Amino acid sequence: MSDDDKHPIKPEAAAAQATDYLGFMGSAVYDLGEGETWTLPNPNMMPPAMKNRYLEHLRFMAEDLDTDERKDPITGEMRPVQKFPIRHGGKLINDEELLAIALMGTDAEEDRAAYLKDGTLPAVYAKFLKAGGVPGQLNTAWQMMERQLRERMKQDSKSS
């Protein structure tokens, strides 16, 4: 096959085509009011900046939350175990809200620090809440995307 026979794939067009083909699984678009929208992409189709904020969120959730020392029932050694409900600096935190702040903000660490300090929200997230959104919608949307993908693969023998 010559180079003339190949059709280069334009990433933005391919993402749009995947969204059209996958339907809900490609992304969820939220109406923020006043003509503004915000798009929650499928986790596998996140733009790099959003993916980096998401990864920082996961790191924070895994490494920086309050822990208690507990005795391991098998080894007998003391080890840190994350407190539940989760806390940071002794204060209860909402993990779904922290995810929304990471995804809708511009800098995961700065946005999270401002929120934990005095409740400051990124502008997009504040608009999302004002429009009636709730932070739990994001994980729910991702779960629906995953379920619909599994169903699509089950129905389409070529996909499995």
How do the domains of the chain map onto residue ranges? 26-64+91-144
> Tell me, what's the pLDDT at 3?
56
Output the pTM of the full model.
0.84
Residue pair 21/41 in contact by the 8 Å Cβ criterion: no
Res. 59 pLDDT band, cuts 50 70 90: very high
Cis peptide before 85 (omega within 30 of 0): yes
* C-alpha–C-alpha distance, residues 38 and 141, integer Å: 13
Residue recorded with tokens 């995804």: 103
Q: Which residues pair with 30 in a beta bridge?
A: 38
Helix intervals (H) in the chain: 11-22, 48-63, 95-104, 108-118, 123-130, 136-155
Give the model's pLDDT for residue 156. 73
pLDDT at 98: 98
What is the reported pLDDT for 86?
97
Q: Report CA Rg, the chain.
A: 20
Residue 7: which pLDDT band, with cuts at 50, 70 and 90? confident
* Across 44-73, average pLDDT: 96
Of 67-76, 80-89, 126-135, 150-159, the one with minimum mean pLDDT is 150-159
pLDDT value at residue 22: 64
* DSSP 8-state assignment for residue 63: H
85-107 pLDDT tens trace:
999 999 999 999 999 999 999 99
Inter-residue contact 41 to 27 (CB < 8 Å): yes
| Residue 127: burial class (beta carbons within 10 Å; 0-12, 13-18, 19+) | buried
